[in-house]
Amino acid sequence: MRWRVLRGSCPIVASYGRRDRGLPGRAARLEQALSELEVPHDVKEYPDAGHAFLNRINVGPLLARWSSWSG
């Protein structure tokens, strides 16, 4: 099991946006692995949220390009 590195971890909190196309199914996989390893956890997947849903601004590619232009 590749998740074995998590064995003995401190409690884990993870929040995922279901609409994040880059991480499909990750919340469920992490939930299963942590349960199997008996690591205390709170994994949530928010159905209407995308990537970086807790940020106040969109930190997508446009901001990254602007940052590289400004020097």
| Interval 50-64: pLDDT, tens | 777 666 665 555 555
Q: How many residues are there in the chain?
A: 71
Task: Select from 38, 46, 48, 37 the least CA-distant residue to 14.
Answer: 46
* Average pLDDT of every residue of the chain: 79
Write the pLDDT tens digit of every residue in 12-27.
999 998 888 888 889 9
Please, which residues have CB within 8 angstroms of residue 17's CB and are 6 or more apart in sequence?
45, 46, 48, 49, 50, 51, 53
Paired with 17 in beta bridges are 46
Amino acid identity, position 56: R
Three-state DSSP at 12 gives strand
